[in-house]
Structure 1
Amino acid sequence: MNEGDFHSGPAGYSPNTPYVETQYGSGFDEEADWADRADRQAIAQRYGLEEPVFDSLLEHLETIRNFCAHHSRLWNRHVTKGPKIPKKLAAPLTANFNLHPQALPNVYNTIILLDYIDYCVSGEQKLFESVRKLLDSYPEIDPNQMGFPKGF
């Protein structure tokens, strides 16, 4: 196979394989041994999260990714398995988690966690504010159905 062939190399991937394909290839959640425990703990620690919280976030993001990839609605969807809410964080949050039981399966807490991860990676928290502006431009959308607290 050619050097530039996206499906050459061991296990069908080459150094030229797009990042998203390597991260979200089929069965990511089925490959529970994607890293040994020490590696998972080290990666989670880099983001100031406990390993079980980080693992649940990855599983949850795969579900969210699948909704988006298959053009499913996400804004008012109840996700069966949400991410675990961290007890402590290494950096401040843009907004507080919504711990109301009816809000937990919605996308609001996902947005807060992704905004936090964005801060850990880039030092900026822009996602939450972008979503807030987007919601402001669509007043017919009820953010409470996304798990946003009243008056966010």
Structure 2
Amino acid sequence: MIGNLLLLNTFNEIEKIEVAVRCAVVNFGTEMTGNSFWMTDANNFSNPSKFNRSIRLIEDELNHTKEDFINHFKETYTNQYPPSWMLTEILPFGVITNIYSNIKNKKIKKRIAQSFGLQVAPFESWLTIITVTRNSCCHHARVWNRVFSIRATMPIRMSRPWITLPTDPLKVYFDMCIIKYFLGIISPNNDMLDKMNRLFATFSEVDKAALGFPFGWENEPLWQ
């Protein structure tokens, strides 16, 4: 039962992060390239193979979507692809993160990462972890007592509150910290701590240490 509730809570929080990241990628990308169609312009990307893979995924989504605004665009305009702000509405989050990682202009990547208080490398790394966690939630895979295989890249410096206690970066607690970090930026008054406390109060038999939660975790700067 706690596994299902943790999945639900985690997925709900990740959805908020998704929206914020999608907006940042499309808004800064469009503003700094001056091109509403920048996501489908090969000149904006470093790796042609990764770009072509993204285009195939974009085309697949366009061919299968039932969204009225996409169908309206196809019927009204002759452009091969819709503008980037439309694409971000239908593309899976993993595709968005792959598009970000392949952006050629380092200033664009840096600006997007900075909007979340991170350098480019840790921002990419943390997005990957969020994507993996999200996919686990979507497929109802085990999350609550799982040991993850991806080790996060840590920022050289943190401009916002973070954790100070020794923590296993491969346990679910560390993923929860990354999620909480993003929420602290996009939704400063979020109730993630309250939700976690209620969950553990309901299932008091759960060994929080097995999930990677250190003693006194709720007093960490990140969780205040």
Which TM class, normalised by the smaller chain length?
0.7 to 0.9
Tell me whether 46-55 or 108-117 shows the greater mean CA deviation: 108-117
TM-score, L = length of structure 1? 0.74
Amino acid at match of 2:179: L
Shift, 1:13, TM fit? 9.1
- Alignment partner, residue 54 of structure 1: 123
- Alignment partner, residue 33 of structure 1: 102
Structure 1: 5+ residue stretches without partners: none
C-alpha distance in 2, partners of 1:140/1:67?
Answer: 24
Q: Check the 8 A contact 1:98/1:149 in 2, yes or no.
A: yes
Amino acid at match of 2:122: V
- Alignment partner, residue 174 of structure 2: 109
Shift, 1:14, TM fit? 8.9
> What is the aligned counterpart of 1:86 among 135, 142, 155?
155
C-alpha distance in 2, partners of 1:109/1:50?
Answer: 19
- Alignment partner, residue 122 of structure 1: 187
Structure 2: 5+ residue stretches without partners: 1-62, 75-79, 218-224
Aligned structure 1 segments of 4 or more residues deviating by more than 3 angstroms: 5-19, 27-32, 97-100
Say whether residues 1:144 and 2:209 are aligned partners. Answer: yes
C-alpha distance in 2, partners of 1:33/1:82?
Answer: 21
Q: CA RMSD in A?
A: 3.2
C-alpha distance in 1, partners of 2:81/2:169?
Answer: 37
Higher relative contact order (CA 8 A, sep 6+): 2
Tell me whether 103-112 or 120-129 shows the greater mean CA deviation: 120-129
Q: Check the 8 A contact 2:166/2:214 in 1, yes or no.
A: no
Amino acid at match of 2:139: H
Which of the pair is proportionally richer in helix? 2
Amino acid at match of 1:126: D
TM-score, L = length of structure 2? 0.53
Shift, 1:76, TM fit? 0.7
The structure-2 alpha-carbon separation of the partners of 1:131 and 1:28, relative to structure 1 and needing over 3 Å to count, comes to: same
| Bigger-Rg structure (1/2) | 2
- Alignment partner, residue 68 of structure 2: 4
Deviations 1:98-148 (A, max 9, x none): 544xx2101212212221211211222432332232122111222112211
C-alpha distance in 2, partners of 1:143/1:83?
Answer: 21
